Amino acid sequence: MHTNALIREKSPYLLQHAHNPVDWQPWGEEAFREAREQDKPIFLSVGYSTCHWCHVMERESFENREIAELLNCGFVSIKVDREERPDVDRIYMTFVQATTGSGGWPMSVFLTPELKPFFGGTYFPPGGLRQVLGRVAEAWRRDRARIVESSREAMEQLTQAAEVAPAADIRDVSALEAGFQAFRRAFGARHGGFGGAPKFPRPAVCHFLLRYWERTGNAEAREMALATLNAMARGGIHDHLGGGFHRYATDARWHVPHFEKMLYDQAQLAVAYLEGYQVSGEEHYAGVARGILDYVLRDLRDAEGGFYSAEDADSEGREGAFYLWSREEIESALGGAADRFCRHYGVERHGNVRPDPEGEFAGRNILYRAEDGADLGASRQQLLEVRARRRRPHRDDKILTGWNGLMISAFAKGAQVLEEGRYLEAAGRAAEFLLGRLYDAEQGTLLRRYRDGEAAIPGFLDDYAFLVQGLLDLYEAGFDTGCLEVAVKLTEAQLARFEDHERGGFYTTAAGESNLAPRMKDDYDGAEPSGNSIAILNLLRLATITWHSGYRESAERALRWFLPLLAEAPAAAPQMLASLARSACRPRQVVLAGARDAEDTRAFLRAIHRRFLPNQVVLLVDGEAARRFLSAYSPAIAAMRPLNGAASASLCDGYACRLPTTDPQELVRSLVG
């Protein structure tokens, strides 16, 4: 069996290609030097281990010896895991989208030995790839000067596109209304969501719409968010047996999913459904959130507490095989309860996927909620046990700092809203894992990836921002001041390593830690929120906690940089719109004084967490250690104590503190008033 240089890597995606006859190399100086010395163009292939079409292209093309020979003779072939190296993915995806009008994975890009792109696309079928390889190799021999000039112009255009003129007035929040109107126009009233098929969960949109509703009282924003959450929860994109959500739906009604499950989707969707519960008070949103969190605990948690990255779409050589059912299988498992179950979940004798142009779902059913009202927990559990005996999809078991930060936030929020101690414990263990394995406390720096005993790859902006957010959420769930202490240290490191101090905003990569130019400032809130959007929100929260004006100044400087984007294309950055809305609010602290686990303290927390109150921070003074720590930031906290032995709450609004109260309802009236 052929073995190439990828065999020495840790990435599950790279290891999947380690026995291709293609002489793959990992991204790095050794491959770049070979391209320069042999004067060959680079064929760059970017994907991830749970990507269905990446598997297809591997089987069709990269295991094909004829195509491998074309690549090995004419090119230096480099394979990149986009989840390990989002910086590489981002810059070349920008090129592919600009030159072809679309993007996706697998991504295939041809580069000069100086790493400048000159031609690219996504999935190529084997015949198309053979043709492209032949033409590119011929053009490199005969017309290299034109290729080099084209690549130079492409990089110049990428550099120019990354430059904008910052806005002058941070008080201009007209982008919030423009964003609402953009999502209003795109909203699908029949099936929820925004835009047509394929339909992706985009929790950042719900995140913004609920904050827009809280700010303006516009009920339409709230209803669009809730309708979308309802439609996704009913559809086949939701795993009704095991919990969690698949990557996206191929149809407009969320029925036929692309079956991979990504950690970042679970994290963001759990928060979205928890907020739906806070906004509506309807228990079914809480149930969906519990299902997501329990799925992650069951199937994506490492023994040491970190969270794995994803589960594949494919098993047994077919997409979705693990999740599909025939009517006969359900009848065999459930007996007399089968009819009721099948009615509720839309199961049909000959399968329920129509149209099915490829014939891949013949006789099979994708469960979706066709009826309301039935309590089928026992039947679901029976089928889950049957399904567990099937061959599971491949699991990508690398642990990424940024995605784990998002998941820590989700478990912290679950602990607050659902009053589940095991969720707080899960968030805490994950934080301990990251800080123990991927954090250099002396330098205040992060690594991005841990797998098989190895931590590697300097952290990107996303890693810092998402973990800081997770630590802030974990503090507000469990009130361990150590979380705040590390969040501040990481924020200082982030400011030093990534901030554009002159013009504002944050680069994706630290200076000197990338082979790529230009350094880019990510601003798109897509499947994941952008690092800039979360970094801005973190800085605003920390400014409220610490009264450190420099944090707010950095946040506002960044917002000024991105306001032109928000004015031109607000729908591209819903999380940044939410951060802009937060910047327009007066800083607000709720300071509780009382024993951490006492019922009167819990009563305050229960009253706060039952409601959707997105614009304050909650601090707890539960002893002298916490008092000393917090009063170093906010001297007024030194005097805050229980009243006559009862837990008290003080609302500090715009840094002016009101008289404390021992009545949770009085506090809530102040918060919502």
β-pair partners for 121: 108
In the predicted model, what is the mean pLDDT of residues 245-263? 96
What CATH number has the domain bearing residue 52? 3.40.30.10
Partners of 44 in the β-ladder: 78, 109
Residues 251-258 have a mean pLDDT of 95
Distance in angstroms (rounded) separating the CA atoms of residues 298 and 181: 40
Q: Would residue 275 count as lying in a domain?
A: no
pTM: 0.96
- Parent domain of 140: 5-161
Q: Are 502 and 515 in contact (CB under 8 A)?
A: no
Residue 91 in tokens: 């810059």
* Cα distance between residue 122 and residue 45, in whole Å: 9
For the chain, first and last CA: distance in Å?
70
pLDDT tens per residue across span 50-104 = 998 999 999 999 999 999 999 999 999 999 999 999 999 999 999 999 999 989 9
For 479-541, the DSSP string reads --HHHHHHHHHHHHHHHHHHB-TTT-SB-SS-TTS-S-SS-------SSS--HHHHHHHHHHH
Q: What is the rounded CA–CA span in Å between residue 106 and residue 552?
A: 40
Q: Would you call 32 helix, strand, or coil by DSSP?
A: helix
Q: Name the residue among 100, 106, 9 with its Cα closest to residue 59.
A: 106
Least confident span in 168-172, 382-386, 573-577: 168-172
> Three-state DSSP class for 279?
helix
d(CA 565, CA 175): 9
The token pair that represents 143 in the structure block: 């017309």
In which residue are the tokens 């101090």 written? 501
**What percentage of the chain exceeds 70 in pLDDT?**
100
Q: What CA–CA distance (Å, rounded) separates 71 from 21? A: 10
Cβ neighbours of residue 409 closer than 8 Å, sequence gap 6 or more: 267, 271, 466, 469, 470, 473, 474
Strand (E) or helix (H) holding 210: helix 203-216
Q: Higher confidence at residue 374 or residue 527?
A: 527
Q: State the pLDDT at residue 96.
A: 94
Looking at residue 632, its pLDDT comes to 95
Alpha-carbon distance 578 to 226, whole Å?
17
d(CA 459, CA 84): 10
Q: How many secondary structure helices (H) and strands (E) does the chain include?
A: 25, 20
Say how far apart CA 400 and CA 462 lie, in whole Å: 10
Long-range CB contact pairs, 159-167, < 8 A, 24+: 159/517, 159/518, 161/94, 161/98, 162/518, 162/519, 162/520, 162/521, 164/561, 164/564, 164/565, 165/564, 166/503, 166/504, 166/557, 166/560, 166/561, 166/563, 166/564, 167/560, 167/561, 167/563, 167/564, 167/567
Q: Is residue 257 part of a domain?
A: no
Which positions ≥6 away from 224 have C-beta within 8 Å?
183, 184, 187, 192, 209
Which tokens sit at 536? 């801005």
In this prediction, residue 355 carries a pLDDT of: 84
CB atoms within 10 A of CB 295: 20
Secondary structure class of 546 (helix, strand, coil): helix
Q: Is residue 141 part of a domain?
A: yes
Q: For residue 86, is it within any domain?
A: yes
Last residue of a domain, one of 128, 161, 194: 161
What's the token pair of residue 481?
A: 């001041």
Give the span between the Cα atoms of 649 and 670, in whole angstroms. 11
Residue 170 has pLDDT above 80, yes or no: no
Question: In the predicted model, is pLDDT for residue 562 greater than 90?
Answer: yes
Would you say residue 514 has pLDDT above 80?
no
Has residue 425 got a pLDDT over 90?
yes
pLDDT tens-digit profile of 614-670?
A: 999 999 999 999 999 999 999 999 999 999 999 999 999 877 889 999 999 999 999
pLDDT recorded at residue 63: 97
H/E segment holding residue 160: helix 144-161
Among 145, 161, 177, identify where a domain stops.
161
pLDDT at 373: 82
21 in a structural domain: yes
Number of domains in the chain: 3
> Which letter does DSSP use for residue 596 in this model?
T
In-domain check, residue 236 = no
Q: Which of 128-137, 157-166, 184-193, 559-568 has the lowest mean pLDDT?
A: 157-166
φ/ψ of residue 419, rounded to 5: 55, 50
Separation between Cα atoms, residue 122 and residue 102, nearest integer Å: 9
Q: What is the pLDDT of residue 591?
A: 97
Tell me the torsion sign for CA atoms 411, 413, 417, 421: positive
Q: CA 413 → CA 278, 314, 447, 584, distances in Å?
A: 11, 31, 25, 24
Encode 435-459 in three state secondary structure: HHHCEECCCCEEEEEEECCEEEEEC
Task: Summarize pLDDT for 307-349 with one digit per residue, the tens.
Answer: 999 999 988 888 899 999 999 999 999 999 999 999 999 999 9
- 124 is a domain residue: yes
DSSP three-state, residue 152: helix
Average pLDDT over residues 5-21: 98
- Predicted confidence at residue 157, as pLDDT, reads 86
**Residue 656 pLDDT:** 85
CA angle (105 as vertex; 99, 111 as ends), nearest 5: 50
- Looking at residue 167, its pLDDT comes to 75
- Supply the DSSP symbol for 586: P
pLDDT tens digits, 461-500:
999 999 999 999 999 999 999 999 999 999 999 999 999 9
**Which of 144, 161, 178 is the last residue before a domain boundary?**
161
Torsion angle of C-alpha atoms 647, 652, 658, 660, degrees rounded to 10: 0
The pLDDT value recorded for residue 168 is 67
| Contacts for 480-483: CB closer than 8 Å, 24+ residues apart | 480/428, 481/625, 481/626, 481/629, 481/630, 483/431
- 248: in domain: no
CATH code, domain carrying 635: 3.40.30
